[in-house]
Amino acid sequence: MNEVKSIAESEKEIIEDFSLFDSWDEKYEYIIELGKKLPLLNPVYRTDDHIVKGCQSTVWLGSSFRDGKVFYEADSDAIIVKGLISLLIRILSGHRPDEIIQAQLECIKVIGMASHLAQTRANGLLAMVKQMKNDALAYQLQNQLNQAE
C-alpha cells in the first residue's frame, strides 16, 4: 500500500500475468487462487447495507477515504467472483476518486473475462464496478463540499 501503482500500471501487470497462461483452466485456477487469498472483510462491512446484489452471488463491498484516496475491501459467497473482485481492488484501491471514476478497466476484456462484466442478470460484478465508482463519486463530492466550506 506504500507504493501504489497507477491504474494503468496495475492493468498492464494483470495483462502480463494472464499472458503466461496457456489455457482457460489455468486462468480460472489463478482467479480462484486470488479469490481464496483475498483478505478477510472487515466485519463492519458485512451488513445488508454493503451488499451489491447480483442475481446469483452476493458481494459485500466496503470503502474508506483517506488522504484524498479511496480504499476498498470486499467479499463474495462465490469464489470466482471473489477472484475477479480481487483484481478490481488491485487496480482501483488507493487511487483518487477522479482516477477511479475514469477507469475503463480494459484489462478485464484483454484477459478474456469481459463476459463476467457483461449485462447478464447472473453476475454481480458489473454492479460491483458501478458501486465502486459510485463510492468514489460520493467521496469526490464530499471532498469538494469540504473544500468549499
Partner 1 sequence: MNVTSGIESGFDIKDIRQHFPILQRQVKGKPLIYFDNAATSQKPQIVLDALSNYYGHYNANIHRGIHTLAEEATAAFEETRDAIRDFIHAGHREEIIFTKGTTESINLVAYTWGRANIQDGDEILISNMEHHSNIVPWQILCKEKNALLKIIPVNDEGELDMEAYKKLISHKTKLVSVVHVSNALGTINPVKDIIRLAHQAGAVVLIDGAQSAVHLDIDVAEMDCDFFAFSMHKLFGPTGVGILYGKKDILENMPPFMGGGEMIKEVHFDKTTYASLPYKFEAGTPNIADVNACKAALVFIDKIGKENLRQHENELLAYATRELKKIDGLHIIGNAKHKVSVISFIVDKIHPQDLGILLDNSGIAVRTGHHCTQPLMQRFGIPGTVRASFSVYNTTEEIDTFVLALKKAIKMLA
Q: Which residues are catalytic?
A: 55
Stretch that binds partner 1, among 24-32, 90-98, 100-108, 133-141 (CB under 8 A): 24-32
What stretch of H or E contains 24? helix 24-37
> β-strands 69-76, 51-53: how paired?
unpaired
Judged by CB under 8 A, does residue 122 bind partner 1? yes
Stretch that binds partner 1, among 22-30, 44-52, 62-70, 126-134 (CB under 8 A): 22-30
Q: Which residue has the cell 472483510?
A: 41
Instruction: Report the side by side order of strands in the sheet with 58-66.
Output: 51-53, 58-66, 69-76
Instruction: Choose between 77 and 98: whose C-beta lies nearer to partner 1.
Output: 77
Stretch that binds partner 1, among 8-16, 21-29, 101-109, 140-148 (CB under 8 A): 21-29
Residues 6 or more apart in contact with residue 26 via CB below 8 angstroms:
none
Judged by CB under 8 A, does residue 98 bind partner 1? no
Judged by CB under 8 A, does residue 93 bind partner 1? no
Helices (H), 1-149: 7-19, 24-37, 79-92, 97-102, 106-110, 125-148
- Within positions 28 to 87, which residues make up the interface with partner 1, using CB under 8 A? 28-29, 32, 55-58, 77-81
Residues that bind partner 1 (CB under 8 A): 24-25, 28-29, 32, 55-58, 77-81, 122-123
